[in-house]
């Protein structure tokens, strides 16, 4: 018996040793790859393990976040020392990704400069603290410059720089990005946040496929200059950028444009005849679509909608321009625009999309919008909607004084619909309804669709699926948990509804 115990113990020790040896015996290249997949802060902690001690100097991904060290001058100093030491010890000839999130701006420097330029005795008086922090800003910027030059010397492929950690962007005191970035021949992806771009010299980003700019200060000339040096660029994202008035490019390689126009009072014109995917959000009444003739996939999110008659009229052209695209995605407020059109008997609307997706807070005021979409989409084959619960914080159409004259009974809305729905008679084959399916008006909407969709093949209803509403993620979409009783009650109601199509199959999950 003693021998058996001893033998078992030996086997256990051998297994443990083999497991340790198996990890330690992996080639350096594999271990470096594993370490590079970890957050940089965690990967660097493995320096305490003898086998990994020197491998940390060969990481192919380096990502640093100022928030690790908190706010304040001391935290800034510690962060600078930390990054400086890591870069100094780095020995790999190349890196795949370099990411930096750090608060960098010139608020105090601008304050000092403006005070010096102001000869008025009533102007701001600069004190020692202002001068000290202005000097600190310049030293920090110089240090960051050196880090960016380090990444470019290492032929970095993905560069992610965000210079806003706390508060709001400072467009008048932004950090200016070194021009060396725009000579990155090996860059495939470039993400920039809260900085100013004024490249000097020739732009050479021959491998760049994705360009993402957020809270960046630039102008029409600058963006055109950059795009002229990106010969294989496929995706362009401009989120809350400053200084743009016209996006007009014909690069045949650029197929996707994402624009969030969040600058109130600034109009922007879009003339991009070769893009195939267009995702726009923000102040849509200030966006002019001049030429988007090749778009087949379009998403529109109204970031700001007050329900005024003047506002909705200005949005008509915005919907008509991409009206022939195959896929169209709308936000909750967009449905209200279509509701206004139906309530006011808007004529002349006709759209060519085959697939329609939207996220909706299904109140009675959204029902005319859905009806309008069905009436004006004769080629519609797939309809997908995600329903979320009514939120007191969202805009309500019944808050508008003019809307009171169009008030109606939501419970009888679908039963009172008259006229022709061409898509229901000849085209609509697939319907998807996700989210909060027990919300008011959902079962009424389903009943109307089943009763009128004569060629319907599939109705999918799920609380576990969501829509990828657009590249500009919609936080409203989430999986929903229903009790067994709720699910049973809904299923029983659904099974009792008449179907116009004998081929219609219903899936519930």
Which CA distances in Å does 504 have to 65, 89, 390, 434, 457?
53, 65, 30, 18, 4
Helix ranges (DSSP H) in 268-366: 309-314, 316-320, 332-343
Tokens 């859905």 found at: 370
Helix ranges (DSSP H) in 327-395: 332-343, 367-375
- Its sign, for the CA torsion 171, 176, 179, 183, is negative
Give first-to-last CA distance, the chain, whole Å.
Answer: 57
- Its sign, for the CA torsion 45, 50, 52, 54, is positive
The one-digit pLDDT tens for each residue of the chain (509 residues) are 444 445 555 555 555 555 555 777 788 888 888 888 888 888 888 877 778 878 889 999 999 999 888 778 888 999 999 999 999 999 999 999 999 999 998 888 888 877 776 655 556 777 888 888 888 889 999 999 999 999 999 999 999 999 998 888 888 889 999 999 999 999 999 999 999 999 998 999 999 999 999 999 999 999 999 999 999 999 999 999 999 999 998 889 999 999 999 888 889 999 999 999 999 998 888 888 999 989 999 998 887 777 666 666 777 778 877 767 899 999 888 898 888 888 888 777 889 999 999 999 888 999 999 999 999 999 999 999 999 887 766 666 767 777 778 888 989 999 999 888 999 999 999 999 999 998 889 999 999 999 999 999 999 999 888 877 554 545 556 778 888 888 888 889 888 999 999 999 999 98
The three-class DSSP label of residue 327 is strand
């Amino acid at each position: 018996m003693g021998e058996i115990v001893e033998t078992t113990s030996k086997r256990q020790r051998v297994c443990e040793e083999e497991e340790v040896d198996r990890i330690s015996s992996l080639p350096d290249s594999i271990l470096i790859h594993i370490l590079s997949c970890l957050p940089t802060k965690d990967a660097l902690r493995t320096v305490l393990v003898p086998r990994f001690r020197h491998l940390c100097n060969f990481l192919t991904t380096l990502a640093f976040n100022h928030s690790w060290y908190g706010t304040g001058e001391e935290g800034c100093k510690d962060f600078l020392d930390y990054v400086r030491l890591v870069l100094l010890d780095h020995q790999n000839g190349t890196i795949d990704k370099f990411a930096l999130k750090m608060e960098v701006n010139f608020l105090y420097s601008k304050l000092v400069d403006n005070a010096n330029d102001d000869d008025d005795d009533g102007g701001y008086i600069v004190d020692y603290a202002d001068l000290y922090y202005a000097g600190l800003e310049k030293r920090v910027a110089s240090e960051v410059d050196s880090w960016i030059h380090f990444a470019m010397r290492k032929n970095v492929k993905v560069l992610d720089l965000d210079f806003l950690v706390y508060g709001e962007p400072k467009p008048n005191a932004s950090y200016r990005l070194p021009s060396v970035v725009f000579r990155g021949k090996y860059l495939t992806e470039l993400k920039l946040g809260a900085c100013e771009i004024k490249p000097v010299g020739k732009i050479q980003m021959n491998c760049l496929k994705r360009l993402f700019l957020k809270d960046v200060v630039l102008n029409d000339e600058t963006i055109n200059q950059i795009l002229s040096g990106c010969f294989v660029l496929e995706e362009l994202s401009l989120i809350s950028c400053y200084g743009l008035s016209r996006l007009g490019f014909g690069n045949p390689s650029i197929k996707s444009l994402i624009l969030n126009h969040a600058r109130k009072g600034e109009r922007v014109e879009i003339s991009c005849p070769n893009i195939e995917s267009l995702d726009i959000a923000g102040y849509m009444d200030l966006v002019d679509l001049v030429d988007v003739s090749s778009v087949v996939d379009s998403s529109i999110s109204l970031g700001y909608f007050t329900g005024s008659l003047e506002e909705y009229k200005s949005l008509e052209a915005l919907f008509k321009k991409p009206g022939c695209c195959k896929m169209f995605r709308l936000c909750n407020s967009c449905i209200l625009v279509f509701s206004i059109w139906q309530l006011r008997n808007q004529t002349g609307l006709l759209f060519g999309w085959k697939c329609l997706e939207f996220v909706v807070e299904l109140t009675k005021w959204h029902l005319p919008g859905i009806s309008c979409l069905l009436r004006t989409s004769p080629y519609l084959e797939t309809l997908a909607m995600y329903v979320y619960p009514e939120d007191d914080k969202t805009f309500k159409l019944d808050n508008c004084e003019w809307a009171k004259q169009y008030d109606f009974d939501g419970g009888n809305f679908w039963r009172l619909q008259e006229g022709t729905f061409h898509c229901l008679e000849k085209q609509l084959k697939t319907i998807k309804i996700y989210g909060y399916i027990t919300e008011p008006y959902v079962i009424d909407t389903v009943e109307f669709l089943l009763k009128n969709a004569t060629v319907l093949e599939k109705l999918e209803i799920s609380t576990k699926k969501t829509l990828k509403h657009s590249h500009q993620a919609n936080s409203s979409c989430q999986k929903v948990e229903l009790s067994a009783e709720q699910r049973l009650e809904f299923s029983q109601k659904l099974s009792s509804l008449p179907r116009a199509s004998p081929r219609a199959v219903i899936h519930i999950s």
